Amino acid sequence: MEKNKIITQAPIQVREDTLHKHERFLSLLTAEAINHINELLTGKDRKRIDIWNVYNSKQNRGYKSETERQKDITKLIDARYELLTREYHIESANRIILRDDAIDYQNIIKNTIRDLMNQGIFNVKKAVFHICKKCGYIVAPIEASITLCPMCNHNELGNIEKTGMFMNFDKNIITDFSMKNFNVLSKEGNNRVKTTMLTMPTTIQLSKNREFGLKLNEFGVDDDFVLDPKISVALAGKVIREMGLGEIDLMIQGFDTVKNNVPFSLLLDSISDTKFLTIGTVPSFSTSEIERYGSTFYFPFLSLLVASKNGKITEHELQQLQNEFIKTQKKLENCIIILNNLSMRYEEEINIPEFDNEIKLFLTEFNQMITDYRFKQALESLRSFIYDTLSRQYIKKCKLQKKKPNMSFFAYIQSILNSIYRSKY
């Protein structure tokens, strides 16, 4: 039986400011928009999986216990889904929520670590590290050019010997990945990954000095260290596969962070055929902006549009897009009003073979654009269909022949149009 093909977002870091900065949801919103439009085009339901990264430096705030930390993380994630439900109608009850601190998740990571150690890719050894003389943070091996403590910015560093976990990186492997173009669906993203892998050191530190995280002491690593979260994040595809949930077909990845995720995914999960779609960045927007412009503009319209970009959308471009969206939405609503009036006025349905063929051609091309992840072209095609084919041709022919539109066909078209522009009719 064919495995479920999953479209999901790169693991989202659990941060308090996510509630105020909605752009941190953009990868999730983009994945949801792509899933929904695919369901409309194929008539098949898709499984939703959200991946959350709960171990990050911002979250180490001196909790008294793991239980206290767990309660705080759960509260933050619940608050995010409350916001997603309220503003974007995305409910957690319909989704699989995967946290990288879950026992099943961590067990798969540990088994992977054992396999990689047996292969000689991961190794545990003593090394001399920089240590901050003020706060005691163990920074990095002394080979790293470190002058300030990243935790307190103190500039006096000493040395300490500790047992950590490391990865051996053979740069010859880049040639093999280049043949696959790194599976990153943009030239800019490919170049960023390639540059990162070309400049990676041959020995990479995998253990970080943090209070909370996946402990590595069972592998002989000192208690001061936990696994670098980017490793368990990069292995999310393998975790999903081994949990029997399916295979990640596409992962939505922020362009600025693709270099932190994709190289390790490629290196550590070579059998995966996951493709990575980078998204551009947008100006920060909060609940007040959503109330002003409407959440529909941000999701699904803008969420799909940024999937074709690698750079940043400026405030000026955003305003232009908002104007374009509002005009197209009004145009669609007007078309729907006219067609509904015609369907009530006339009894006989219109049947124009050449026009029906044009509709089928549009749907075929639109479907192919979505399949090829060409979302900007798909949105442009959709807008052109509303302004030209629907309003100038189809409505005109209905009026001239005094017949109501073919409602069975139009209901399907309308569901696709409304899925992007969310017409109120």
Of 156-160, 177-181, 307-311, the poorest mean pLDDT is in: 177-181
Confidence check: pLDDT of 425 > 60 = no
Condensed to tens digits (0 to 9), the pLDDT of residues 8-42 reads 999 988 887 777 788 888 999 999 999 999 999 99
Residue 414, number of CB atoms within 10 A of its CB: 18
Q: What is the mean pLDDT of the segment spanning 333-345?
A: 91
Q: Are 252 and 279 in contact (CB under 8 A)?
A: yes
Query: Residue 88's Cα: distance from chain center in Å?
Result: 16
pLDDT of the residue at 60: 54
pLDDT of the residue at 377: 94
pLDDT of the residue at 229: 92
Query: Can you point out the beta strands (E) in 169-260?
Result: 203-205, 207-209, 225-227, 247-254
Confidence check: pLDDT of 59 > 50 = no
Can you give the pTM of this predicted structure? 0.91
CA atoms lying within 13 Å on the CB side of residue 181 = 11
Phi, psi (5° rounding) for residue 186? Answer: -165, 145
Residue 289 token pair: 């902006």
Residue 211, number of CB atoms within 10 A of its CB: 13
- CA distance linking residue 315 with residue 281, whole number of Å: 11
pLDDT of the residue at 1: 43
Long-range Cβ contacts of 308-312 (<8 Å, 24+ apart): 308/280, 308/373, 308/374, 308/375, 308/376, 308/377, 309/255, 309/279, 309/280, 309/376, 310/186, 310/188, 310/189, 310/255, 310/278, 310/280, 311/255, 311/280, 311/281, 312/280, 312/281, 312/282
CA nearest to 9, candidates 25, 33, 31: 31
Q: Are 31 and 9 in contact (CB under 8 A)?
A: yes
Query: Per-domain residue ranges for the chain?
Result: 5-105+231-304, 121-228, 314-421
For the structural domain made of 121-228, what CATH number should be given?
Answer: 2.170.220.10
